[in-house]
Structure 1
Amino acid sequence: MTAYFIQAFIYLVAAVIAVPLAKRYGLGSVLGYLMAGVVIGPILGLVGQETTTIQHFAEFGVVMMLFLVGLELDPKGLWAMRVRLVGLGGLQVGLTTVAGTAIAWWLGLTWQTSLAIGLLFALSSTAIVLQTLSEKGLEKTEGGRSAFSVLLFQDIAVIPMLALIPLLALPALMGAGDDRASHAGLSLVAHLPGWAYALVVVAAIGSVIAGGYYLVPKLFRYVVGSGLREVFTATALMLVIGIAALMSLVNLSPALGAFLGGIVLANSEFKHEIEANIDPFKGLLLGLFFITVGAGIDFQVLASQWGTVLVLGVVVIAVKATILLVLALLFRVRGSNGWLFTLSLAQAGEFGFVLLTYSVQNSVIPVEISQVLSLVIALSMFLTPLLFIAYDRLVLPRYRRVKNDGRQPDDIDEQAPVIVAGVGRFGQIICRLLRANNMPIVALDHELEQIENLRRIRIKSYFGDASRSDLLETAGIEQARLLVVAIDDRKRAVDMVKYVKHYYPHVWVLARAFDRGHGYQLREAGADDIVSETYHSALEMGGHALTAMGVHPMRAKQMTWAFVQNEEAHEDELFDAWKEIEEGINFSPRYGELFMKLEEALNSAMQQDWPEPQREDVPIWTPPVPTEDSDEKS
């Protein structure tokens, strides 16, 4: 038992030291985990043979991640992405398999071994890519969505790959994999004929779908009735582990089964609570998985075969990147999104280790070749965070400077007291309102289509990146009275506010915030006035919801005003508590307490006695007529 405590302590210390350092220097958490594993494994030798065993356990983090991804989708969303799921994903797996098989066969391997190698290198790292896209806020971009489609197809493709590999067995290797195969684990379909295996698979998938729709909601209602949060957490973990175990027993991908289970529960009333309970376990296990990848590098094999490993690693990334770039052009994923799609998927993946071990067990790939291939997979995964860094520092600046087919920023030939930065769906309304009141404005945006839309309605606008200091100076920021920041980039908006308030403090800065946290960042940067893009529209709809439930329109207005006043009364306290979190405290009890105080004050405000609306002050209004269903319920 003591040995397990020591090993766990070593892994956690390595993560605590390496990951914050990597994040501080812009390397990302994944590279931090990988470096931590290299240090405690091959370099210091603090961990050893148990790494492979821990890696199999840590792979469950990938299962949890895909379960959470499934929770964010629904069957309609899955159907909407069918073209890229099947077309883009299918072509990527097919073309990469053909390329990998051809290269391996050219190097002198048998066609069976070559095909197995082509299959395992067709897969990319779901764990690294989704984790990094999430950290950088790129999962909603066109490149991020395309990458997710391909990763999802790859996870589905693992099923036929696992079925195909045993058919490629080489008689000459039969003796080498027998001892490994004997420990392959439990299986309900190991000796079933093909038709019976198909029936069992259909039954397993059907049980996941039916259980998710009919049994799981009842189970969670029963658990919620106990009032014990830890039992709810245990139930959520039991659900994911149970689905993974069922899929493993029928030789299907546990990750794919978990993803399917997440989709089934996407519309469940318990969706957000399940997500909140599982997410911490997912993050911890994924971090552990990345550490084991770094710790599992065999430096003896690497020392003797370093040239081969390095060349093959570069070839894998180059070949996959070439195929992905062609597919990006074919499916019109262009510009920086095309490069994001290409660079994010150019590595081999964690399921490559699974297929490699399975191929050795089934006498398809010799042990000595598998050792080299394992290093190549690990090297390509190790280089992936560097590819994301290249995207951030080389690709994005290029497309920000020269965008829309290389067009240079317009020459700004006039200045105005109001500068509007960003004229998308939010900024256009501001421009129209100012123009309707004869307020001179200069509008800037780096999307040519938005600029042309404004010009059609005769609003003076210019193409260019509003966050560039030289364009702001040309637009007259030094003499301007008001700057409206409405650009669709959180970080650039904050940086822009900091710059203007530092060098032109007399300019009143009105900034659009995406959410509460972004609003706090803009406030800290010095913005004079901040408006959340959804705040007032949500209040308006909330008022309509009250009216639909029988509340008088004037009283509903009073309640929304009370809501705003209550928020403003606690805004400074919440902002001060938020700064503690931003300064490095991951959880601030004070922030939670203040937010609950805000909710209590809000409830009290809603319960106060409201003055009766006077007839002359309000429009004529007829209360909604209750339906027969509502009468029966009451």
Structure 2
Amino acid sequence: MADAINPQSFSDSLVILGAAGLVIPGFARFRISPVIGFILVGLAVGPSGLGALVSQYPWLYHVTISNRAAIEPFAELGVILLLFSIGLELSFRRLWTMRTQVFGVGAAELIGGGTLIAAGLYILGQSPAGAFGLGLALALSSTAVVLPMVGTQSAVGRAAFSMLLFEDLALVPIIFMLGALAPSVAASPDGPWSELADTLLKSGITIAVMLVLGRLCLPHIFRQAARTKSPEVFLAASLLVVIVSSLATSIAGLSPIVGALLAGLLIAETDYHGEVEVMTAPFKGLALGVFLITVGMGLDVRVILANWPSLILAVAGVVLAKTIVTAALLYISGARKGVALEVGVLMASPSETTLIVLSAAAAAQLILPSTATFWQIVTAIGLTITPLLARLGHDIARRLEMALGEEAVEVSEDHAEAAAVVIGFGRVGRMVCDLLVLHKQRFIVVESDPDVVAEARRDGYPILFGDVSRTEMLDKLRLGHARALILTMDDPVLSVRVTKRVRGWVPDLPVIARARDTDHAAQLYKAGASDAVPETLESSLQLAETALVDLGVAMGPVIASIHQTREDLRMGIKEAAQLETAPKLRRLRPDEVP
């Protein structure tokens, strides 16, 4: 058993977890993107940094990573989980509306940026085929770094995502195209074109099968996982879907990230997408950190110092060329000048997929190994400065829009019109929702019972599956955009806990809560509820109302007295709760009296 344990794996794990524990809170403290921190950690502890000194100082072995290849699978998993989470935020309807941006602007951006960079490299002496391969490689932008900074909801995020999506889809055809230009196969009558056609056919069939099976099977899989009430089972089902989808597209010849994106899109069409996103978020962040560490490990300080003038010019040239092409295309397609400029600067750096294309170009003998190494360093530097470029582009765009008077307030697609959020869809929750429908009020319901969710969905209610006992799920509801929060679940402890959390985040949000009795109502008022409705009180008032009417008292005075009694009792409970939470005044001693 002891022989099976690999000390290097434990050492690498220690370095990675230690980096995550130090980088994320440390850089957040100074409002700096942790992307830079992870890359710098990779530079410091990698084979070109402190790892190079292990032979002289053996104790460094335990705080460095000497084998970059050992952690690359985890880095690839981070990118896969990132694309999966992006798919969860989308839907097929929304993706269809973006088809013009994806296959129009996205294709033009990749081809235009690649052509401009290739022309510059050709002028500098690179061969035509080598310039073409380098141009396409450097025209790619980083999905893994860009989208976490801007999301997919804003105008900047939507524009960036449409182009990044096309680049991810074009990765495999680009690699095949570079293989076709290889000197060893260029003279062949067939080359790899027949293989490319075969791959496209297989990938098309695979995607069609995945779409059909996903529509039919995923709702049942996640419903069964939700019935277990076990977060571990739910997480296992989510990761299983991601891995199977990525393997399927890999076998078909496509990139695994295409399968991950497709898995996210399919789950987004189910009632469980919010819970899946919450469950997988921690793994995505950690794995993405591993990926960024591997990027930093690709930097060699000695090579950078020896070639820094050439590297600076190369990075600046790539950034300038991509900014011009991207901003111009977005402006021509109708984007505001500020948005076009911000997206252009944001996507100006090369990508992690650039490294893959550079390797393919070198393997095809289109560029020399030394040339590939040079541009790999340029790519790593570009990824490192992406957060700085994002900040620079944002500031310049805001100033431009203010100067031109083109500022626009963006409204999220999901919150174009504020709605009430109802938590719980039992007997009380359904009645509340029916009355909201009757009075034409927009609302969304959250329920943790998968069977109730399925039934409510069939009945046409806007309902989501989610467990609000987890803070991350409450964050997903974006209560800052809501008009009111209505708690109808029959769980006194959870309702008080949710009320306290929400009141701390959204001080002005009306919170109306169901209470079991007057004591529970008092606890809810202490937690910050705007109104708490005790069930025992309401049943007593309804009983009194029915009795008075049956005794012959006129309906008008009865309703008025019931309303007045209800209001008096509520105010009494609220005032008592406020008195209990008020600070207690200490009685002064005689010698302290002025």
Q: State the TM-score, normalized to the length of structure 2.
A: 0.67
Residue identity matched to 2:16: Y
Whole-Å Cα distance in 2 between the matches of residues 594 and 116 of structure 1? Answer: 64
The one of 244, 250, 253 equivalent to 1:251 is 253
2:253 maps to 1:365: no
The one of 31, 44, 50 equivalent to 1:26 is 31
Residues 1:572 and 1:214: Cα distance change in structure 2 (over 3 Å) = closer
Residue identity matched to 1:113: G
The one of 105, 108, 126 equivalent to 2:143 is 126
In structure 1, the residue matched to 2:50 is 44
Deviation of residue 123 (structure 1)?
Answer: 0.8
2:173 maps to 1:160: yes
Residue identity matched to 2:343: F
Whole-Å Cα distance in 2 between the matches of residues 17 and 560 of structure 1? Answer: 37
The one of 376, 380, 383 equivalent to 2:382 is 380
SS of the residue 2:307 aligns to: helix
Deviation of residue 291 (structure 1)?
Answer: 1.6
2:339 maps to 1:334: no
Deviation of residue 323 (structure 1)?
Answer: 0.8
Q: Deviations over 1:39-97 (max 9, x none)?
A: 22344335455224423431221211111211222211111112211221111011012
Deviation of residue 303 (structure 1)?
Answer: 3.2
The one of 5, 16, 23 equivalent to 2:21 is 16
Deviation of residue 217 (structure 1)?
Answer: 2.3
In the alignment, is the contact (CA less than 8 A) between 1:302 and 1:309 conserved in 2? yes
Whole-Å Cα distance in 2 between the matches of residues 13 and 563 of structure 1? Answer: 43
Residues 1:92 and 1:3: Cα distance change in structure 2 (over 3 Å) = same
Alignment of 1:593-632 (within 5 A): 605=535, 609=539, 611-612=541-542, 616=556
Whole-Å Cα distance in 2 between the matches of residues 22 and 560 of structure 1? Answer: 34
Residues 1:97 and 1:55: Cα distance change in structure 2 (over 3 Å) = same
Whole-Å Cα distance in 1 between the matches of residues 536 and 95 of structure 2? Answer: 41
SS of the residue 1:252 aligns to: coil
Deviation of residue 533 (structure 1)?
Answer: 5.5
Deviation of residue 288 (structure 1)?
Answer: 1.2
SS of the residue 1:265 aligns to: helix
Residues 1:606 and 1:341: Cα distance change in structure 2 (over 3 Å) = farther
Deviation of residue 316 (structure 1)?
Answer: 0.4
SS of the residue 1:343 aligns to: helix
Whole-Å Cα distance in 2 between the matches of residues 354 and 560 of structure 1? Answer: 48
Deviation of residue 352 (structure 1)?
Answer: 0.8
Range 217-226 or range 569-578, more displaced: 569-578
Deviation of residue 569 (structure 1)?
Answer: 8.0
Q: Deviations over 1:329-370 (max 9, x none)?
A: 212222432222111111111111122223333333321111
Residue identity matched to 1:299: V
Deviation of residue 120 (structure 1)?
Answer: 0.8
In structure 1, the residue matched to 2:392 is 390
Deviation of residue 126 (structure 1)?
Answer: 0.4
For structure 2, list consecutive stretches of 5 or more residues without a partner in the other structure: 1-5, 52-62, 442-483, 507-522, 550-554, 560-594
In the alignment, is the contact (CA less than 8 A) between 1:23 and 1:32 conserved in 2? no
In the alignment, is the contact (CA less than 8 A) between 1:62 and 1:127 conserved in 2? yes
The one of 294, 297, 319 equivalent to 1:295 is 297
Whole-Å Cα distance in 2 between the matches of residues 35 and 306 of structure 1? Answer: 17
In the alignment, is the contact (CA less than 8 A) between 1:305 and 1:372 conserved in 2? no
Deviation of residue 603 (structure 1)?
Answer: 9.9
In structure 2, the residue matched to 1:501 is none
Range 139-148 or range 17-26, more displaced: 17-26
Whole-Å Cα distance in 1 between the matches of residues 254 and 536 of structure 2? Answer: 53
Deviation of residue 129 (structure 1)?
Answer: 0.6
Deviation of residue 172 (structure 1)?
Answer: 11
The one of 258, 268, 271 equivalent to 2:270 is 268
Whole-Å Cα distance in 2 between the matches of residues 50 and 489 of structure 1? Answer: 46
In structure 2, the residue matched to 1:545 is 433
How many pairs are equivalent?
A: 457
Whole-Å Cα distance in 2 between the matches of residues 403 and 372 of structure 1? Answer: 41
In structure 2, the residue matched to 1:351 is 353
Q: Deviations over 1:265-298 (max 9, x none)?
A: 2221221222122211111111111121112212
In the alignment, is the contact (CA less than 8 A) between 2:315 and 2:382 conserved in 1? yes
Range 218-227 or range 159-168, more displaced: 218-227
Residues 1:300 and 1:79: Cα distance change in structure 2 (over 3 Å) = same
In the alignment, is the contact (CA less than 8 A) between 2:19 and 2:41 conserved in 1? yes
Alignment of 1:464-613 (within 5 A): 534-535=419-420, 545-547=433-435, 573-574=500-501, 605=535, 609=539, 611-612=541-542
Whole-Å Cα distance in 1 between the matches of residues 133 and 503 of structure 2? Answer: 57
Root mean square deviation, CA, Å: 4.2
Residue identity matched to 1:3: Q
Residue identity matched to 1:44: L
Residue identity matched to 1:64: L
In the alignment, is the contact (CA less than 8 A) between 2:421 and 2:485 conserved in 1? no
Whole-Å Cα distance in 1 between the matches of residues 343 and 20 of structure 2? Answer: 28
Deviation of residue 3 (structure 1)?
Answer: 1.8
2:114 maps to 1:114: no
Residues 1:48 and 1:168: Cα distance change in structure 2 (over 3 Å) = farther
Whole-Å Cα distance in 2 between the matches of residues 127 and 205 of structure 1? Answer: 23
Range 26-35 or range 216-225, more displaced: 216-225
In structure 2, the residue matched to 1:74 is 91
Whole-Å Cα distance in 2 between the matches of residues 140 and 550 of structure 1? Answer: 31
Residue identity matched to 1:330: I
2:237 maps to 1:235: yes
Residue identity matched to 2:33: G
Whole-Å Cα distance in 2 between the matches of residues 390 and 404 of structure 1? Answer: 20
